[in-house]
Structure 1
Amino acid sequence: MTAYTSSDHPSIYQIRLKGHLGPQWTAWFDGLQITLTEGGETILVGPVADQAALYGLLRKVRDLGLPLQAVIYLKDAPQASD
């Protein structure tokens, strides 16, 4: 059984795509880090504000026409200290 994570705070996600995107797409993907692999994949990693923002990123992937290979939750994003 996996632990439940709340969707109302930022989390770090990895999104894997088949095909290469250039670094000029960073701004379009809300500043996520873009890594290109030798195997022909693009890996997007970074904080996503909430589930609505995650679905927005997935719509952008769909609009580009690149095959989605995986969406992986990595961890909760660090919270700002008060």
Structure 2
Amino acid sequence: MDRKILSEMTDEELFAEGKKQKKNKIYAGFAIGMMIGVAFWSIIHKGFILPVAIFVVIFYFAKRTNDGYQAVKKEIDSRKVL
């Protein structure tokens, strides 16, 4: 997916991207919660590979979601726009 560089976006596009990133952060939080539940279930039932794989995926989702949100927030703050 081609995405415009944040510094080239208009203020309206940037705010829309910020809203989208915030919504994605909520969805990612839900997905992470579900994965943690599956990992704990697997640990209780003596699994090992599945929890390790799930925690790696959780870390990836959390990092990616947070990086996108922080980049948009930083650009909005740098423009000093309400």
TM-score range, shorter chain: under 0.3
Question: TM-score, structure 2 length as denominator?
Answer: 0.28
Higher share in strand: 1
Task: Give the structure with higher Rg (CA).
Answer: 2
Question: TM-score, structure 1 length as denominator?
Answer: 0.28
Higher share in helix: 2
